[in-house]
Amino acid sequence: MRRFLVGSLWLSLLGSSHALATSASTDIFCQKYPKALGCESKQASCAICHTAVPSLNAYGDDIKGALTGPIDATLIGALDKIEALDSDEDGASNITEIEHHSAPGNGSIKPEADAQLAYDPVIAMRRLRAIYCGNPASYEDLQKVKTAADPKAILHAELNKCLASPFWKGEALFRLADKKIQPLSAIGFGGNVVIADYRYDYRLFSYIMSDDHDVRELLSANYHIDESGARVEGVIARQEPAQVGQRIVIGGGQPLDPTRRAGMITTQWFLAFYTMFAPLPRNTASQTYREYLGMDIAKGEGLMPVANEPRDVDARNVKQADCAVCHSTLDPLSYAFSTYVGIETVQAFLFNSNGTYRATRQPWEAQGQLFGQPVTNLLDWATKARNSDPFKKNIANMFFKQALSRDPLPSEQGEFEALWKALPDDAYSANKLIHRLIETKAFGGKRS
Amino acid sequence: MKLLGITLLIAIGLLGCNHKVKKHNVRSAGANEETDASANAKGGGGMNESSPAGLNLVWKRYRAFEGGLVQGLSLPKADVCKELGQYSCIDKIHLTVLGGNEPYQLGQYERPSAPTALTPLAVERVILAACGKRLELDKAAGGGALVFKFFPLAGASPSAAQLKAQAGELYKRFLAREAEGPELDAVAAFAGKIANPEKAAISLCLAIGSSAENIFL
């Protein structure tokens, strides 16, 4: 696991024939520096060597300059050579930063002992009311917290109210889903060219992420939610009839057989919008990998090359070395999506086929891999994904960033790890995760 | 322009008088070291490069910002601010710079991670509109004024005591805390310098409402 999480560290030491990243290099780095940020948390791993992939930061540049041959063979020597340097010129040596959970290539982050913070329930109340209720705490609210014998009980009671509010369920969670769904009104319900109805996606996301539902249903739900908030089982017909004229309507409802559904990644919108006409739905797979497992292949994250890949099954010329760096991971991720229809025209008009399953669409369905394990189809893919650590970390990171507008800091890694690791104990409830989040010092800490 | 000048003077006075100012240390990233008056006194509210917003402070984004004005000034949501009298400042015109995003029409799938260069302008615009609306309502209410009730809105320049009382009310309403002595003293120092009581009321409202402490959590 560690190996693929940190794979991105070395991806783009490009520009030097010696410096092409390999997964073996990541093992070397993590064996040498087990305390390094990239060896335990994906969220910060890229930043050790990169500003934005493929651009190197100062530490990455120094590694590149110190290599004397192929990276796997000379990396240890290169790392040794630059340990005493201060690549980012922040006054702390590289080795000090690595061993103290800091960033040797980022001058604005320096090693420090764990911040001496004390939890301040007033700060927590101010934040939770604004973030989860959309309505700041009043003078009276804060007075209650200040004078309470058990202020945390007040915080949790208030949070319960917030998480049940229309603001949270109908606005904040919708905004959290935007990047996953990427709606476009012109081609959604009521648009000029309707390929699918993304309102189902928002409702399903909000439903699963609230009221103590199991967040793993993001990748397993075989139901949908109607406009009244009720669960709907089975196929859902188009809300407006197919038409071709001033407006074109070829999509709508949820036509996919429920036995082929895997939550958010098999809605009609998701499949139509991301797959479109592609024989091999790489975009659909990479969006799933990015938004539900937290790994952005375009940034070199989560690379886990599969032997003999890419095979270039759809003749896109991805076997070239520069392409293969990513496609050796991406293409095997994509095969399971290839039996789901993206956008069709006549078939869609007649039979609402966008986003449906068709076993004969392509022959690659059972040839894929996820996390180094074979996957037989998309349901198998989704099962492995939703039960993985990256899925849990991504859920926790999503709420952490939603609250604090940033990733966890080095000094907060312990709290962050506790958050995502508690998900199984909390029956994978997003609400319970947020209750834990507001008790962290990252959320409510004040320097003592 | 004159109003802005007065407001600025008041704001400068508030900043200069605060006794809790601490030197910000980049190494404190992650620690909510400065809160309440000290965050206010920093003025930048963590927006400069060495103190990225979000490390020490949390940006009070559009809906909570709006909620603060609705609650603090006892205004209906629809009355907080409208451009050209019809377009919501919060939900439409200034949404992005106030920390929101509009995905459906504009394809904005992510909110801004930190305040932009235009955020202070939008914040002041919205607060000024909301304060103006409250003033209008309180003028019409006469003795039943809800917020601006500590000096007559027509007539003589407010006294130091009246200004202090009004500022104390606004601190509670906007910042959910009691004003501190130096803050009230700074306000009192302007007694007699603002002849028009309406302008005094608006200036206080804008200065306190647009303080960093009301924009960051």
Collect all residues of chain A within an 8 Å Cβ-Cβ radius of residue B111: 175
pLDDT the model gives residue A103? 80
Question: Does position A290 have pLDDT exceeding 80, yes or no?
Answer: yes
Query: CB-CB: which of A135, A181, A184 is closest to B64?
Result: A135
**Terminal Cα distance for chain B, rounded:** 30
pLDDT the model gives residue A4? 41
Nearest to A429 by CA among A269, A270, A218, A248: A218
Top-confidence residue, A358 or A100: A358
Residue A343, amino acid: I
pLDDT above 70: percentage of residues in chain B: 75
**Average of pLDDT values for A378-388?**
98
**Average of pLDDT values for A55-64?**
87
B170-184 tens-digit pLDDT: 999 999 999 999 999
Query: CB-CB: which of B33, B63, B107 is closest to A447?
Result: B33
Least confident of A85-94, B69-78, B178-187: A85-94
B78 in contact with A, Cβ within 8 Å: no
pLDDT above 70: percentage of residues in chain A: 90
pLDDT the model gives residue B42? 36
Cβ–Cβ of A405/B114 closer than 8 Å? yes
pLDDT the model gives residue A20? 54
Average pLDDT in chain B: 80
pLDDT the model gives residue A69? 86
A153-188 tens-digit pLDDT: 999 999 999 999 999 999 999 999 999 999 999 999
CA distance A317 to B81: 55
Cβ–Cβ of A447/B35 closer than 8 Å? no
Least confident of A7-21, A129-143, A206-220, A366-380: A7-21
Q: Give the minimum alpha-carbon distance from B174 to chain A in angstroms, rounded to a whole number.
A: 8
pLDDT the model gives residue A46? 66
Least confident of A16-30, A76-90, A96-110, A218-232: A16-30
**Burial class, A35, CB count within 10 angstroms (exposed 0-12 / middle 13-18 / buried 19+):** exposed
pLDDT the model gives residue A97? 83
Question: Does position A405 have pLDDT exceeding 60, yes or no?
Answer: yes
CA distance B84 to B152: 30
Cβ–Cβ of A126/B54 closer than 8 Å? no
In the stretch 160-199 of chain B, residues with CB closer than 8 A to chain A read: 172-173, 176-177
pLDDT the model gives residue A132? 98
CA distance A151 to A145: 5
Q: Give the minimum alpha-carbon distance from A373 to chain B in angstroms, rounded to a whole number.
A: 32
pLDDT above 90: percentage of residues in chain B: 69
**Average of pLDDT values for A17-44?**
65
**Average of pLDDT values for B11-40?**
35
CA distance A74 to B180: 62
CA distance A367 to A376: 7
pLDDT classification of A1: cutoffs 50, 70, 90: very low
Interface test with B, best of A129, A171, A174, A406 (most B CBs within 10 A): A406
Q: Which residues contact A415 (CB under 8 A, 6 or more apart)?
A: A408, A440, A441, A442
Q: Which residue of B has its CA nearest to A138?
A: B176
Nearest to A299 by CA among A64, A59, A51: A51
pLDDT the model gives residue A317? 95
Least confident of A18-32, A81-95, A215-229, A328-342: A18-32
B58 in contact with A, Cβ within 8 Å: yes
pLDDT the model gives residue A122? 96
B158 in contact with A, Cβ within 8 Å: no
Contact A268, A201 (CB under 8 A): no
Q: Give the minimum alpha-carbon distance from B104 to chain A in angstroms, rounded to a whole number.
A: 5
Contact A310, A406 (CB under 8 A): no
pLDDT the model gives residue A60? 86
Cβ–Cβ of B63/A403 closer than 8 Å? no
Least confident of A187-191, B8-12, B89-93: B8-12
pLDDT classification of A224: cutoffs 50, 70, 90: very high
**DSSP per-residue letters across B33-63:** ---HHHHHHHSSTT-STTS-TTTS--B--HH
Query: CB-CB: which of B29, B64, B177 is closest to A409?
Result: B29
Query: CB-CB: which of B68, B100, B217 is closest to A127?
Result: B217
Question: Does position B48 have pLDDT exceeding 60, yes or no?
Answer: no
Average pLDDT in chain A: 90
Question: Does position A390 have pLDDT exceeding 50, yes or no?
Answer: yes
Collect all residues of chain A within an 8 Å Cβ-Cβ radius of residue B31: 115-117, 445-447
Question: Does position B19 have pLDDT exceeding 50, yes or no?
Answer: no
Question: Does position B24 have pLDDT exceeding 80, yes or no?
Answer: no
pLDDT the model gives residue A106? 80
Collect all residues of chain B within an 8 Å Cβ-Cβ radius of residue A134: 63-64, 67
pLDDT the model gives residue A73? 83
Question: Does position B70 have pLDDT exceeding 70, yes or no?
Answer: yes
pLDDT classification of A110: cutoffs 50, 70, 90: low
Q: Give the minimum alpha-carbon distance from B34 to chain A in angstroms, rounded to a whole number.
A: 8
Query: CB-CB: which of A112, A116, A136 is closest to B71?
Result: A136
Q: Give the minimum alpha-carbon distance from B67 to chain A in angstroms, rounded to a whole number.
A: 5
Cβ–Cβ of A139/B103 closer than 8 Å? no
pLDDT the model gives residue B18? 35
CB atoms within 10 A of CB B31: 23
Question: Does position B67 have pLDDT exceeding 70, yes or no?
Answer: yes
Least confident of A182-196, B16-30, B128-142, B152-166: B16-30
Q: Which residue of B has its CA nearest to A127?
A: B217
B189-204 core/surface letters (b: 16 or more CB in 10 A; e: else):
ebbeebebbbbbbbbb
pLDDT classification of A425: cutoffs 50, 70, 90: very high
B67 in contact with A, Cβ within 8 Å: yes
Cβ–Cβ of A129/B64 closer than 8 Å? yes
B71 in contact with A, Cβ within 8 Å: yes
Rounded to the nearest 10°, the torsion over CA A360, A324, A328, A10 is: -160
pLDDT the model gives residue B49? 32
pLDDT classification of A14: cutoffs 50, 70, 90: very low
Least confident of A90-99, A147-156, A320-329, B138-147: A90-99
Query: CB-CB: which of A137, A409, A411 is closest to B176?
Result: A137
Nearest to A273 by CA among A354, A175, A378: A354
